[in-house]
Amino acid sequence: MKKNVVITDFGFPDVSVEESMLADIDCDVVAAHCTNEDEVLKLSEMADAILVQWAPVTKKVIDNLKKCKIIVRYGIGVDNVDLNAAKEKGIPVCNVPDYCIGEVADHSVALAIALGRQLMTTDRLVRSGIWKITPPLAMPPFREMVFATMGYGRIATEVLKRAGVFGFRTAFYDPFISPEGVQNNDLRFLTQTQLFEQADIISLHLPLNKDTYHMINEKTLQMMKPGAILVNTARGGLVDAAALAVALKQGRIGGAGLDVFEQEPLPVQHPLMQCENVILTSHTAWYSSLSVPALQRMATEEVVRCFTGQPLKSRVA
């Protein structure tokens, strides 16, 4: 009997990659563009497997599943899937942690470089008819700046490699890694407080959970150096965007480069839209012409492993 694989939502041109791979193991694919719990609930009840990108796979959805054997998230973060409910139901949840590593690292450093050299603000001055051979704000050389990541996983490691090439002094904070476990004499380990107080550029690379939600807030923004730059290509909920907008408008920090937001699309009236010293991109850090088919293939491979009795590669719950 054919198995039923439900794709709740996707941002790809099509799902031909999934259809081709799953046809080889006698699976039917039903693809939709669910945006809310009720739509996922109706679509997924009789699914043998679920592939999900952004749609909410809540406790209600999971409790309603009749025969699901696996849930796979298209991507790294899994905060749109209720992991506790899946665990209670005995349904493995997997992600794809090893795709788009280079793309997100490139995007993170590109935002930091553009802000560090004040490219956007200088461009706006030139376009308005103001020609100055010095930038609007103080600009230290990269060799005197501390580029630090919050987190030291796959992407953060690649970010710091790239930052080192530009001559930054590199550092990181990660609550789950001891400094003794890092084989890099040029890389400094900082406590969380030290990072906020010493870093000129802070790039966020942590998962979103109850401990990291709004870790960038009014209090921690006050701790940051004047002129410091914040980059977030991880999860929108790591940052209290309203507090960040206030800090930017008041000039308490130098700038921010943001690719992810708690609410996407970012509302046109959001206060961040009124800030001049911020670069906003539309959740594109993951993208390249190669990352899309790689994501589809890797996520589907996990379903194939489940249905063919192979060990799962990237189980998170």
DSSP 202-230: EEE----STTTTT-BSHHHHHHSPTT-EE
| Both tokens assigned to 254 | 């130098």
Which of 88, 144, 197, 264 does the annotation list as catalytic? Answer: 264
> Residue 25's Cα: distance from chain center in Å?
32
Q: How far is the C-alpha of 96 from the C-alpha of 267, rounded, in Å?
A: 29
End-to-end CA distance of the chain: 28
Q: How far is the C-alpha of 120 from the C-alpha of 238, rounded, in Å?
A: 24
Which of 18, 103, 235, 302 does the annotation list as catalytic? Answer: 235
Helix (H, G, I), strand (E, B) or coil at 54: coil
Task: Verify whether residue 235 is a known catalytic residue.
Answer: yes
Helix (H, G, I), strand (E, B) or coil at 236: helix
Q: How far is the C-alpha of 208 from the C-alpha of 60, rounded, in Å?
A: 21
| CB-count exposure of residue 170 (10 Å: 0-12, 13-18, 19+) | buried
In the block, which residue shows the tokens 């993208």? 287
Could you tell me which of 244, 157, 149, 132 has the C-alpha nearest to residue 195? Answer: 149
Q: How far is the C-alpha of 62 from the C-alpha of 288, rounded, in Å?
A: 32
> Which stretch of DSSP H or E encloses residue 304?
helix 291-307
Which of 252, 270, 283, 297 does the annotation list as catalytic? Answer: 283
In the block, which residue shows the tokens 């308005």? 128
Catalytic residue set: 235, 264, 283
